[in-house]
Amino acid sequence: MKDSIIKQKFDTLKTFPTIKHEILKIAENFVHHSDDWKLLRVNPLKFATYHKLDENDSVDFFVHAAKVGLFDFAYNLICPMCGGIVHSHHKLDEIEGKEFHCVSCNIVVPTLLDDQVEVAFQIHPSLQNNQIDPFVDVQNYFRYFFSENFDKSTELKNWIQSTIKDYTKLIPDDSYTFTFDANYGDLQGHLIQFVSIDRNTMCLFSVDPNLPTNNQSYLVDLMESGMKPNAISIPVGRHQFTIHNRTRFTVGLNVLTPNPKEIERIANTFPTIRHHFLTAKMLLNNQSFRDLFRIQKLSPDLNLNVKSLTIMFTDLKGSTEMYDTAGDIFAYKLVQEHFRILTEIVRKYKGAIVKTMGDAIMATFSTPIEGLLAALEMMQRIELMNFDWKKEGYEIGLKVGLNEGSALAVVNDERLDYFGQSVNIAARVQGLAKSGEVWLSESVWNATGPEDLVKQHGYYYRKQKATLKGVGTPVPVFQLSRNELKIPSKWKQLFNKR
């Protein structure tokens, strides 16, 4: 490990005001005293839990560490059934397609940024010569190519172990031969499977008792495009299978006798525990990532699905008149203070500002409750700010709209943006609001169950139907507003001290 360069990286990280010195000390100790496995794929949420840190602070650190070249991003496409890392990328726009295929489970998985794209952090290869050989044995192989965030039950692990008949490491242009007695009555699920998890390819031999009993030899070419052939029906008998590695890579090869119905039964009876990890959606909703990686060379064809995104639009009432009456300098100062407050609150609730439009912002959050809490705190802070500016005879009013739904992550004006009907509805819902009001779509209201929360913040709500441009029929919306202006006592105390 290159200690002097690592020290320089941490010295650079100390110059970022958003990173707490406490986490820098913990992280520096972690880097210097961790083995290759621990530095292979760091889960920043698990790191936060173990070291009793705030999750936001932990994610912010690793994002900044990636910016200075201490760590590297790993975008891992994870199979939800087995936890296998089907593909791993270092850039977001290397993720292609709306779905991917896990050969181990033989299932097709939608490429959703919400659930199936794990974001981990690897120590940058320029700083450490990783000595892990993932192909040395089957234990290393499974540890390397499966996510630690999926904890299989003992029953499932034991059953999977029982189906593994052999494992081998194949260097380029090398061959492997396996002999097997295919007795239909003894085979689990009557299948023999050759699987390369690292290349995400397989060849499946199914035993057909209707074929005449015969002893045969089979040759399978492991190409860079996959195994050829990839599915063969064979008779009962003693067979010899030869796999030839025709790729440029060293590969791992497992010989299995799988039973899809049995693995599904065991997995349902003894479910896999999925630990909390940073998803690609959560990363895109991180303000530090947005700020530090704003100028990325992303493909203009980037088009990724988000299953559930909470979208916020805000706008100001009274700013245009203030420019006319107070002058540009004064009005500009007030509007910028409003932006500072909104950005601080969005960051606090694990969200990110996607863009600003005049006096308005578009922000996104990973959950509806985070978006709603952010909106209510924005109202409180703007009201408090107005108490100061009213002395000068000026005030502004904030209007907020929230919607939750699916969206597409796209590149717009060389930065990450979102597109879709859910985004349009969020903008239309905000357009219904008056000064000091928060309006919610039905999806946000149903997801948060916010009656008590709304009342605690001094708001009352009214459900009604509204016709939104671009939406065919009237839709339910929820209007949150105050009966009268009430500043919580803690804010009044703060104001009186100023």
419-431 pLDDT tens trace: 999 999 999 999 9
**Whole-angstrom Cα distance, residue 460 to residue 482?**
6
For residues 338 and 219, membership in a common domain is answered with no
Q: What is the DSSP string of 144-187?
A: HHB-TTEE--HHHHHHHHHHEEEEEEE-TT-EEEEEEEE-TTTS
Residue 461 CA to its chain's centroid (Å): 33
> Which has more confidence, 483 or 161?
161
Would you say residue 242 lies in a domain? yes
For residues 357 and 483, membership in a common domain is answered with yes
Domain that holds residue 226: 154-271
Q: Does 85 have pLDDT greater than 80?
A: yes
Would you say residue 473 lies in a domain? yes
For residues 264 and 349, membership in a common domain is answered with no
Q: Which helix (H) or strand (E) holds 289?
A: helix 287-292
For residues 330 and 418, membership in a common domain is answered with yes
Would you say residue 143 lies in a domain? no
Quote the pTM value.
0.87
For residues 315 and 254, membership in a common domain is answered with no
Q: Give the pLDDT mean for 331-357.
A: 91
Would you say residue 31 lies in a domain? yes
Q: Give the pLDDT mean for 167-186.
A: 88
Q: Give the pLDDT mean for 176-195.
A: 78
380-394 pLDDT tens trace: 999 888 877 776 667
Q: Does 495 have pLDDT greater than 50?
A: no
> Which has more confidence, 375 or 329?
375
For residues 210 and 316, membership in a common domain is answered with no
Would you say residue 284 lies in a domain? no
For residues 37 and 177, membership in a common domain is answered with no
pLDDT at 175: 97
For residues 116 and 217, membership in a common domain is answered with no
For residues 345 and 440, membership in a common domain is answered with yes
216-242 pLDDT tens trace: 999 999 999 999 999 999 998 899 999
Domain count for the chain? 3
Task: Collect all residues with Cβ–Cβ distance below 8 Å to 466 and sequence separation of at least 6.
Answer: 429, 432, 474, 475, 477
Tokens encoding 494: 């703060």
Would you say residue 142 lies in a domain? no
Q: What is the DSSP string of 214-255?
A: ---EEEEEEETTEEES-EEEE-SEEEEEEEEE-SSS-EEEEE
- Cβ–Cβ < 8 Å for 61, 67: no
For residues 8 and 102, membership in a common domain is answered with yes
For residues 303 and 368, membership in a common domain is answered with yes
CA contacts within 13 A on the Cβ side of 325: 9
5-60 pLDDT tens trace: 999 999 999 999 999 999 999 999 999 999 999 999 999 999 999 999 999 999 99
Would you say residue 289 lies in a domain? no
**Whole-angstrom Cα distance, residue 335 to residue 30?**
42
